[in-house]
């Protein structure tokens, strides 16, 4: 248009400068010139005629409206640059200079209207020549591109936000065309792989796959592309440092309105740490399952969640029987703390330890050293519980306590017996030497009885061993003593009394009776009477003595034998015959054999077979 506008088709400069009526300007131009100006006037853009110095001489009506000027006279003959902000003055001057120089000047810039409305303009400044080729005008056309720039700004902002999001998410992100050729990766991909888009474009990503995964992964990718189905897979990718990490990869097909796939959007999520953690958890779960220590997990509301092999072995309940059950109720737990108080303690402190008495499926009691730890998993509260069987230790503790009590009782009894022996022996001894000899013999007799009882862990005492021990302790192994009788057992306290009686009888036989010369003999025999109740009848029978006379005073030995006859479990009868002493001892039998004794027996009972002579 600018090339066709000549001086003869435009109004003279003088007329332009004389009138403020643009319609009058057009009326002065006949024919084609008027038509050209009418076209300029009707343009939707802001059309201006500038002189070569850049002053405004014409603006079409639409231009005035776009700029927001009410009357052309307000800007007539003023510099066009006055309509632009100072920061854009150089752009305006440069465009005018280019047009004056014969070239079109073009720029886009922001210029608020005189009323303050910000607008973006796409401006073209062109030279206008007369027939002689002389530059007479500059035609400036400004197109309002504010709306376009707003759209571009929105698009640009959206693209910036997309890139910021894509480059800063934890995953690698990428896009591929419908055939699977990747054309975009986010920055995280490049940071990890140390590659460029040129390296990775198309199917270049497969170069980073672990060799063991290539065939499998590509086969699945091609199958998903063919069927247009979402793709996911797990494989190892090589990083810039040459090491491999595991990734979970997923891609979704994006379809057009007709349902055709137009592109694929995919992500790669690093799952190396989760994979290692999962493997560790699997190993721990396996260890828990194989552990012989009873380990269970229970929910405060939903009961048992895990019941390992150790629980089955210790308590007897199968996993199916235990899952969902209340473990305290299932195992009939006994403890000073109720389950409610235990849970309160757990919630306050997070853990608890102590010992529970529980009952197994077969009804047996099981003591466990129990440790509880409260673990919060989201909104759930679960308790990890470990149980170690301490039943044997508890039984050992009970035995130890009984042993201490029994030992204390026996020591007191023994000391009482020793004290009594000392006092009675002292009273009946004419001299210190006699006292020492008698007292030592009696202590040795007591010691022998203790040895017999110790061999059976103080369960009971064999009558045969008691008799043999007392005769051997006092008289050695004389050939003139005969011992015979069935197997029989006495309770510990009864055995001690019988022991002291036997010692006194043996000592008396050596000093005054059958063993005081070379002709006497002693027969010790016993039998078991079954009715009215089981009793031992032990007979001490001396023969061959030479005119034994009953003693006139009551010494310790005689008093001991006669007083023992008044004890609850012993009855004695003593007869001084001319040929020797005859004594009958009746004692209650211990019906429990060593193997099933009801007396204190913390260890394995020893049973010795006693030969008879």
**pLDDT of 556 higher than 70:** no
pLDDT of res. 183: 92
Instruction: Classify residue 532 as left (phi > 0), alpha (psi -120 to 50) or beta.
Output: alpha
**pLDDT of 606 higher than 50:** no
pLDDT of res. 2: 39
If one compares 379 and 140, the residue with the highest pLDDT of the two is 140
**pLDDT of 16 higher than 70:** no
Lowest average pLDDT, out of 178-187, 312-321, 452-461, 536-545, goes to 452-461
pLDDT of res. 3: 40
The pLDDT tens digits of the residues spanning 280-330 come to: 656 666 666 666 688 888 888 888 888 888 888 889 999 899 999 999 889
pLDDT of res. 520: 84
pLDDT of res. 93: 92
Assign 357 a pLDDT band (cuts: 50, 70, 90): very high
If one compares 595 and 21, the residue with the highest pLDDT of the two is 21
If one compares 402 and 327, the residue with the highest pLDDT of the two is 327
If one compares 399 and 143, the residue with the highest pLDDT of the two is 143
**pLDDT of 7 higher than 60:** no
3-class DSSP string for 544-600:
CCCCCCCCCCCCHHHHHHHHHCCCCCEEEEEEEECCEEEEEEEEECCCCCHHHCCCC
**pLDDT of 243 higher than 90:** yes
pLDDT of res. 505: 85
**pLDDT of 59 higher than 80:** yes
CB-CB contact of 434 with 484 (8 Å): no
Assign 598 a pLDDT band (cuts: 50, 70, 90): very low
CB contact set of 230 (below 8 Å; sequence gap of 6+): 224, 250, 251, 252, 253
Tell me the mean pLDDT in the region 53-66. Answer: 90
Nearest CA to 365 out of 395, 337, 339 is that of 395
Tell me the mean pLDDT in the region 91-100. Answer: 92
Taking the CB of residue 523, how many other CB atoms lie within 10 A of it?
15
Assign 261 a pLDDT band (cuts: 50, 70, 90): very high
pLDDT of res. 265: 92
Assign 87 a pLDDT band (cuts: 50, 70, 90): very high
Tell me the mean pLDDT in the region 341-350. Answer: 88
- Topology annotation, domain 7-150: Beta-Lactamase (3.30.450)
Lowest average pLDDT, out of 202-216, 452-466, 575-589, goes to 452-466
**pLDDT of 144 higher than 70:** yes
CA distance 558 to 543: 19
The reply to whether 291-389 shares the fold of 7-150 is yes
pLDDT of res. 594: 47
Percent of the chain with pLDDT over 70: 75
pTM for the complete prediction? 0.40
The pLDDT tens digits of the residues spanning 191-221 come to: 999 999 998 989 999 999 999 999 999 999 9
**Domain map of the chain by residue range?**
7-150, 169-275, 291-389, 426-596
- The CATH code for residues 426-596 is 3.30.565.10
Say whether 205 sits in a helix, a strand or coil.
helix
Lowest average pLDDT, out of 329-343, 508-522, 553-567, 594-608, goes to 594-608
Tell me the mean pLDDT in the region 454-464. Answer: 70
The pLDDT tens digits of the residues spanning 107-122 come to: 999 988 888 889 999 9
**How far lies 179's CA from each of 47, 174, 200, 263, 442, in Å?**
50, 14, 15, 8, 112
| CATH class for the domain made up of 169-275 | alpha beta
CA distance 506 to 512: 10
pLDDT of res. 442: 65
CA distance 44 to 524: 149
CB-CB contact of 453 with 590 (8 Å): no
pLDDT of res. 241: 94
- One CATH from 3.30.2320.30, 3.40.1020.10, 2.60.40.1510, 3.30.450.20 for 291-389: 3.30.450.20
**pLDDT of 609 higher than 60:** no
CA distance 84 to 82: 5
CB-CB contact of 578 with 538 (8 Å): no
Lowest average pLDDT, out of 6-20, 177-191, 456-470, 546-560, goes to 6-20
Lowest average pLDDT, out of 325-329, 538-542, 574-578, goes to 574-578
If one compares 605 and 184, the residue with the highest pLDDT of the two is 184
Block residue for tokens 């007897």? 316
Residue-averaged pLDDT of the chain: 79
CB-CB contact of 189 with 168 (8 Å): no
Q: In degrees rounded to 5, what are phi and psi of residue 54?
A: 90, 20
């Amino acid at each position: 248009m600018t090339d066709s506008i000549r001086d003869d088709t435009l109004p003279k400069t003088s007329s332009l400068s004389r009138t403020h009526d643009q319609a009058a300007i057009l009326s002065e131009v006949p024919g084609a010139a008027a038509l050209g100006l009418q076209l300029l006037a009707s343009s939707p853009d802001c059309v201006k005629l500038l002189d070569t110095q850049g002053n405004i001489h014409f603006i079409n009506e639409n231009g005035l409206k776009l700029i927001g000027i009410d009357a052309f006279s307000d800007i007539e003959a003023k510099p066009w640059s006055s309509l632009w902000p100072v920061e854009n003055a150089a752009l305006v001057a440069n465009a005018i200079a280019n047009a004056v120089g014969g070239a079109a000047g073009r720029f886009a810039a922001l210029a608020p209207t005189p009323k303050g409305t910000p607008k973006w303009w796409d401006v073209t400044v062109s030279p206008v020549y007369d027939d002689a080729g002389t530059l007479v005008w500059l035609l400036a056309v400004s197109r309002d591109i504010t709306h376009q720039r707003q759209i571009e700004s929105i698009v640009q902002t959206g693209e910036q936000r997309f890139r910021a999001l894509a480059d800063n998410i934890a995953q690698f992100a990428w896009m591929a065309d419908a055939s699977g050729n990747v054309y975009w990766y986010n920055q995280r991909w490049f940071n990890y792989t140390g590659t460029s888009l040129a390296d990775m474009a198309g199917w270049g990503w497969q170069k980073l796959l672990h060799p063991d995964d290539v065939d499998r992964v590509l086969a699945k990718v091609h199958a998903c592309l063919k069927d247009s189905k979402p793709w996911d897979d797990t494989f190892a990718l090589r990083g810039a440092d040459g090491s491999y990490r595991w990734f979970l990869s997923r891609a979704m097909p994006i379809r057009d309105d007709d349902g055709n796939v137009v592109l694929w959007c995919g992500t790669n999520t690093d799952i190396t740490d989760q994979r290692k953690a999962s493997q560790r958890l699997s190993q721990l779960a396996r260890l828990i399952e194989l552990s012989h220590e009873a380990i269970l997990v229970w929910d405060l509301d939903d009961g048992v969640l895990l019941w390992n092999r150790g629980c089955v072995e210790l308590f007897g309940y199968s996993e199916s029987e235990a899952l969902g059950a209340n473990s305290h109720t299932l195992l009939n737990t006994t403890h000073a703390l109720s389950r409610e108080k235990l849970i309160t303690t757990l919630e306050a402190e997070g853990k608890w330890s102590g010992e529970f008495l529980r009952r197994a499926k077969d009804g047996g009691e099981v003591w466990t050293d129990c440790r509880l730890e409260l673990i919060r998993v989201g909104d759930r509260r679960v308790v990890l519980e470990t149980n170690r069987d301490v039943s044997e230790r508890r039984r050992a503790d009970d035995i130890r306590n009984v042993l201490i009590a029994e030992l204390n009782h026996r020591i007191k009894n023994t000391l009482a017996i020793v004290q009594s022996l000392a006092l009675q022996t002292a009273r009946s001894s004419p001299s210190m030497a006699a006292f020492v000899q008698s007292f030592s013999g009696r202590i040795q007799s007591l010691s022998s009885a203790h040895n017999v009882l110790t061999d059976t862990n103080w369960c009971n005492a064999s009558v045969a061993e008691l008799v043999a021990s007392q005769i051997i302790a006092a008289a050695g192994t004389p050939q003139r003593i005969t011992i015979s009788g069935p197997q029989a057992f006495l309770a510990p306290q009864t055995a001690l009394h019988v022991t002291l009686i036997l010692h006194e009888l043996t000592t008396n036989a050596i000093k005054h009776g059958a063993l005081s010369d070379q002709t006497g003999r002693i027969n010790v025999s016993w039998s078991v009477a079954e009715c009215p109740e089981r009793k031992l009848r032990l007979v001490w029978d001396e023969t061959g003595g030479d005119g034994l006379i009953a003693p006139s005073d009551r010494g310790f030995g005689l008093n001991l034998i006669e007083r023992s006859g008044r004890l609850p479990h012993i009855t004695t009868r003593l007869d001084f015959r001319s040929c020797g002493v005859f004594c009958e001892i009746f004692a209650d039998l211990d019906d429990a054999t060593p193997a099933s004794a009801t007396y204190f027996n913390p260890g394995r009972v020893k049973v010795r077979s006693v030969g008879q002579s």
